[in-house]
Structure 1
Amino acid sequence: MISVPSPVCPPQRTARMPQPRMMLVVTGDDFGYCPRRNQGIVECFQAGGISNVSLLVNASAAKEAADLAKRHDIPIGLHANLSEGVPVCQSLQQVSTLINQRGVFQGKMGFRQALERGQLSMKQVELELRAQVRLFRELTGQLPHHMDGHQHVHVLPEVREVFAQVMSDLRIPYTRVPMEAGLHSCPWLPAHLQRFYTQVEKDATDSIPVFTRYGIRWPDVYLGLTTMGQNMSVPNLQRALSHALASWPSGTTSSSASSCNQPVITGELMVHPGYPSHPQVGGCGEGPDDFSQSADRQHELSMLRDPSLLALYSQKSVQLCAFKDL
């Protein structure tokens, strides 16, 4: 818990709203994956459970998602995808290092294995990323204010350099750096997830100098690895928030704050709300995956709309916002 010093400023004639302790972007990932995902994300936004979405432009319901974001004024960014489904760039759809013999991306682990073997063309990675930004602009009428990677591919070696270059060239200001405080004290996480998340954290740490060099920004703290699917609960979210607040040194902040107020920490909580996909409906060209068809998405949707979670935000002085508000 961060201690808050007593204010030393003189009384003001006009009452001012108290400064939030944390400005938290709650990002609903995989927008566009299927109509039921879209429905759940919109309902979650309307209920105040999320404040931002990340769009998969190569997903089957991407156009519907972009239209819903416009209709409901939902802040939207790009969930750049190099690991699931079909490439957006037409020249990469027949023969490229990014796809397998079935003509689709090589998967979360397949992409990483091909990268380790030196089999991926970074020029083709760049072509695909730029094509996805172009399609995002066609669908939404704007450039994304933030851009992250589906299955965290944006922090992988070599890829992060290309990712940062594209963001810098197109003046996309914000990304995600998935380093979660308290990650290594979660006994409920199975060993394979602990190993994967530990590698994601290492890759994210190694990305910081690259993103810094290109002038890319990200929130002060990140949450979401330890609270995915059935692991999402109000106690687990409270624990993750407490770790995040405690991890950030008191008195330092990336956001401007009046000397009369406590410093404001910025954060991002990654979430995946929705309703289970119908079999064979959705996905990015291969149909929906198991996670999408499971009850995990709906469980997250229920948790994010839980009144006790919204009360927790108020108790912790957490204010939900979008990347454009940071």
Structure 2
Amino acid sequence: MRMRFDTLFGRLFGVLLVAIVLAHLLAFFWFHHYGPPPAPPSRFSAELDGTRPPHPRFEPRPPRPWFGGPLVPLTFQFISLIIAAWYGAKLLSRPIQRLSAAAERLSENLDSPPLDESGPREARQAAHTFNLMQQRIRQQVQQRGRMLGAVSHDLRTPLSRLKLRLEQIDDHKLQGQMRQDLDDMIGMLDATLSYLHEQRTSEAWQLMDVQALVESLSENAQDQGADVQAQGHCAPLHVQPMALRSCLNNLLDNALRYAGYALISLEDNREQLLIRVIDHGPGIAADKREAVFEPFYRLEGSRNRNSGGVGLGMTIAREAAQRMGGQLSLEETPGGGLTAVVRLSRTPASL
């Protein structure tokens, strides 16, 4: 079989072969140069006594130095094999590390640059396959977005006509019920498109004054008549501004919808920033807190769609936090209510 040195196997085999050959050549030279001559037979004793000239086979060799034993060549062999093994491990792990880093970038941004198709044959094949996968995923997401946008546009027209025809119904109770259903359908379309837009959107990281953002959100809500307070301090943080604003807006809307009051609290330390959106509303049972992050999930009781919303706000908020390398979880507020906790690391993986 013809050896291919553009493969991982060929390169690793070549490195180990060179190391072994060099180590054995050194050992051969060392022992040949400093090794003792074989014991002469008795018939050559005269040569050793000086009465006859020495036979060329038994000419004296250079004196062996203190380091002339087997320790030096064996040590060289050991070190050379360690270096070869280390370099071979680097050859094997480097393509995997590159592929892992590219997969992490892809999980955060579908428009991340493609993987460089260089290196050994296996690495080139893996990079080429990965780039094809990224291209197909991007095309599928774009196609889905176009399809849903077209569906939304096509549905808006008959829904608008239905709202106009509602005015011809004399039964005011039925008219109100049908108008509410149509408003819910339009709201679901708008929320779905917003959710898909959030999934497709990618933005650069920026150093942002999160405290100023929180205070701005609080003041804007107060100007609209909502009861929103902000407390705490924090240093600027590298974030994706639109993602953070979207996350906090959805959490704030959720708190105001079900409790009529919200407190945004900041807690900063060297490792992470904690942003809490606290309300004293009906709360959510512990076994249902993860379920509310599912799209269109509706709770029974006070926190359901009858109170407003279509069930995408919490989904959008969590995915926005995850795009920034953070976490979003729900906890019970002391004294009753719900607390949404956003944890943002001060050393995100994307930087």
Same fold, TM-score > 0.5, yes or no: no
TM range (shorter): under 0.3
| Structure with the higher fraction of residues in helix conformation | 2
TM-score by length of 2: 0.19
